[in-house]
Amino acid sequence: MAIDPSLVGRTYPSSDAYEVGIEKIREFADAIGDPNPVYRERQAARALGHPDVIAPPTFPIVMTFQASRRLIEDPELGIDYTRVVHGEQRFAHSRPVLAGDALTVTVTLESVRSVGGHDMLTSRSDVATVTGEHVVTAWSTLVVRGDG
């Protein structure tokens, strides 16, 4: 079922702020097997000029994946999640995510297009602090496989 193009631009505002814990960053760094001390020790992060431990560049997926469920589960989009494949992912950072950040995620349906019987939809997740400082924007392109 094709996604209604008139829904492009629909925005899903943030619910509660995501509070970034240092242990969550350490857990994520462990999970990707990266021993870099800048993801673990405040002293190492400060030596590079950061106010606190920083998160790896793809860490924002933790909160944008969660936030994008509001779009994926929007009944008006009618997405069958069992047919969804992750097609593309991109991040553009104003600064790294820091331990102690309280972040909001606003999700927007940026585009939909049909390619070879599949729907491709791109969502944009704007991640900012609760005081409005932009941190990172993530774009996810999901491919909803057609009945094929």
Partner 1 sequence: MVSLTVEDTAVGTALPAQAFSIRRADLVRYAGASGDFNVIHWNERVATSVGLPGVIAHGMFTMALAARVVTDWAGDPARVVEYGVRFTRPVPVPDDDTGATVEVTGVVAAVLENDRVRVDLTVSQAGAKVLGRAQAVVQL
Question: Which residue in the set 3, 20, 38, 107 belongs to the binding site for partner 1 (CB under 8 A)?
Answer: 38
- Under rule CB under 8 A, residue 146 binds partner 1: no
**Angle 56-59-60 from CA coordinates, rounded to 5°:** 130
Nearer residue to partner 1 within complex by CB, 96 or 128: 96
As measured in angstroms, the least distance from the Cβ of 94 to partner 1 is 8
Say which DSSP state 52 is in.
S
CA–CA dist 103, 130 (Å, integer): 6
As measured in angstroms, the least distance from the Cβ of 6 to partner 1 is 27
Helical (H) or strand (E) element with 45: helix 42-47
Say which DSSP state 9 is in.
T
CA–CA dist 78, 34 (Å, integer): 38
Question: Which residue in the set 52, 74, 111, 139 belongs to the binding site for partner 1 (CB under 8 A)?
Answer: 139
Point out which residues bind partner 1 (CB under 8 A): 24, 27-28, 30-34, 36, 38-39, 47-48, 50, 54, 56-58, 61-62, 65-66, 82, 85-93, 95-96, 139
